[in-house]
Chain A
Amino acid sequence: MLGAEVTFDVALPKVVWGWLVSTNMWAKSIATGSFLLGLYFIKKYPEKDAFFRKWVPILGLIFIGITLLVTVLDLHHMFRFWKIFLFAHFTSAVTLGAWVVSGFVIVLLISFWSWVTGNKKLFDKVMLPGFVLAFFSTIYTAGIMGESTARELWVFPAEMIQMLLSATLAGSAAYLLLMTIYKVEMEEVKRELGYILIGSAFLSGMMYLGEILFARMHSEFSHRAVEILTFGSLAPMFWLGIFLTFIIPIILVGIANEKKKYEYALLGSISALVGLWLVKHSWLLAPQMLPLS
């Protein structure tokens, strides 16, 4: 007997989670990353904290707002969203995420009020719970991907580390972008942000490389998904994303830090943010390209 071929079947749906979910992950990386890095710089440079006390809540609220908007838009019953709180099912990472992000939004609103009123102590009081909530807001999507049993490409610990690295990459890129646009004179902070961006890009890129190489060995399904991602229909998007997220920013931000020419960091940051969406989107689509039954 030779090969086998499906000769009769019904039309199957392909992409269940599309660009709205990719945008959710991308915007959440910026929101939580800018919060976590903001706390770090406020603690490290208390004398220069004004910039971060202003932009932590603004960036956080804008991008967590985008996250929540696309999340609700992606629901087939968007006006039933409240049921996630009333009929919460806590084995689901979706439920845990909804509760954690709600807590994170409250912390962001408090930090915004703290900046508006100039009451620094108010923000200081919510820093610790804010850190915990931002951390878990970053990684809960990895839990959802881990619970997506059908999509064997996504493995929980690896996705969790990728989410954290995406957050530090996106957060540092967002701050570098703002600092260059508003010509903020904090050279050592810019240099440190540059190193965080380079380090995150390098580690995240290495993780993707490792996942691509080793996912082939996990199962036939992940092998096929990686084939689609690296050589198939998603390859142009994926490789462009890898180039823009990891290679270009490392070079440009490296030059910026070395020669103190921060306009390079601006370009590197834009490249990182655009590329991050492409990488996340192609990684989301790849395991949806294969038939499950």
Chain B
Amino acid sequence: MRLGFLVDLSRCMGCMACAVSCKAENDVPLHSWRLRVKYIDQGEFPEVKRHFVPLRCNHCENAPCERICPVSALHYLPNGIVNVDHNRCIGCASCMMACPYNAIYIDPITNSADKCTYCAHRIEVGMMPACVVACPTHANIFGDLDDPESEISKYLKEHKDVMVRKPELNTKPKHFYVRGSTVALDPLASERPEGYTLFTEVKFLDHIGGH
């Protein structure tokens, strides 16, 4: 079994239900995110387009975070999920330096590394990840990549425009995007001016949690 995720970006409407349900399900503290939705505006009036991009851990098959973790706090589960053992983590932040997707954070309460686990605790009891359940447009498609009858496998077979983030790094992500674009998936393809924009302040934090 190889569990994977697919987001059909044409269905995402940026409602943040996935991000909120993830926060609630996993008790993610303030200023920390396992899953977030980024808005990117492209073009100039009247030719404008808004991209919504849900971003979470890619659960790479060749995960740099698993390789660099000195104590195996980040480890593979038999179903392909890259999981975190909070009690083993020493908080060296090497995983944050290695992850090319900015998917890992230091939890300011536990002082340990944390990230999306595809809701491993829910999957264990046969439930879907919280973000999949919360999505009102079924933009999040989750399932077994090894099962040709799973919805995700069929989706991947049917669509020719499947993309992953930073494929050139050979991390082999198991998180796919359909109907995406470079602007949506490449962080350097868009400007990131700090300051107040749409509803909030786009900014960088000077410190990482609890240090």
Residues of A within 8 A of B (CB): 1-17, 74-78, 80-81, 83-84, 87-89, 91-95, 98, 144, 147-151, 219-221, 224, 290-293
B71 contacts the other chain (CB 8 A): yes
Name A224's contact: one of B68, B106, B168, B188 (CB within 8 Å): B188
Mask: chain B, 91-121; 1 = CB below 8 Å from A; 0 = not: 1111011111111011000011000000000
Question: Closest CB-CB distance, A121 to chain B, in whole Å?
Answer: 36
Query: How far apart sit A78 and B201, CA to CA, in the bound complex (Å)?
Result: 33
A244 to B112, CA, bound (A): 38
B142 to chain A, nearest CB (A): 20
Q: How far is the CA of A69 from the CA of B178 in the complex (A)?
A: 48
Which residue in B14, B36, B94, B99 is a CB contact (below 8 Å) of A144?
A: B94
B116, chain A: closest CB distance, angstroms: 12
Taking CB atoms, residues of chain A closer than 8 Å to B101 are 150, 292-293
Contacts of A10 in B (CB 8 A): 31, 33, 36
B97 contacts A148, CB within 8 Å? yes
Closest to B106 in A: A76
Bound-state Cα–Cα, A15 to B91, Å: 15
- B contacts, CB < 8 Å to A: 14, 31, 33, 36-44, 47, 49-51, 55, 64, 67-72, 88-94, 96-103, 105-106, 111-112, 165, 168-169, 171, 183, 187-193, 197-211
Using known A-B contacts A8-B202, A13-B204, A14-B204, determine if residue A94 contacts B92 with beta carbons closer than 8 Å.
yes
Contact in complex: A292, B100 (CB < 8 Å): yes
**Is B42 a contact partner of A4 (Cβ separation < 8 A)?**
yes
Tell whether, in the assembled complex, residue A84 and residue B202 are in contact, meaning their CB atoms are under 8 Å apart.
Answer: no
Q: Which 6 A-B pairs have the closest CB atoms?
A: A76-B91, A8-B39, A4-B190, A292-B102, A149-B64, A94-B70
Q: A1 to B184: give the CA distance in the assembly, Å.
A: 14
- A291: B residues at CB distance < 8 A: 102, 187-188, 192
21 A–B contacts, CB within 8 A, in A order: A3-B191, A5-B40, A7-B39, A10-B31, A13-B205, A17-B93, A17-B97, A74-B93, A76-B91, A76-B106, A76-B211, A84-B90, A92-B69, A98-B70, A144-B97, A149-B98, A149-B100, A150-B64, A150-B97, A293-B55, A293-B187
Alpha-carbon separation in the docked complex, A151 to B166 (Å) = 13
B191 with A4: CB separation less than 8 A: yes
Q: How long is the Cα–Cα vector from A221 to B105 in the complex, in angstroms?
A: 21
User: Is the pair B90, A80 in contact by a Cβ cutoff of 8 Å?
Assistant: yes
CA distance A1 to B182 in the complex (A): 13
Q: CA–CA, A88 to B90, complex, Å?
A: 12
Q: Distance (Å) between the CB of B46 and the closest chain A CB?
A: 12
Q: How far is the CA of A148 from the CA of B98 in the complex (A)?
A: 4
Q: Are A12 and B205 in contact (CB under 8 A)?
A: yes
Q: Are B188 and A6 closer than 8 Å at their CB atoms?
A: no
Contacts of B14 in A (CB 8 A): 8
Query: What's the Cα separation between A94 and B42 when bound, in Å?
Result: 41
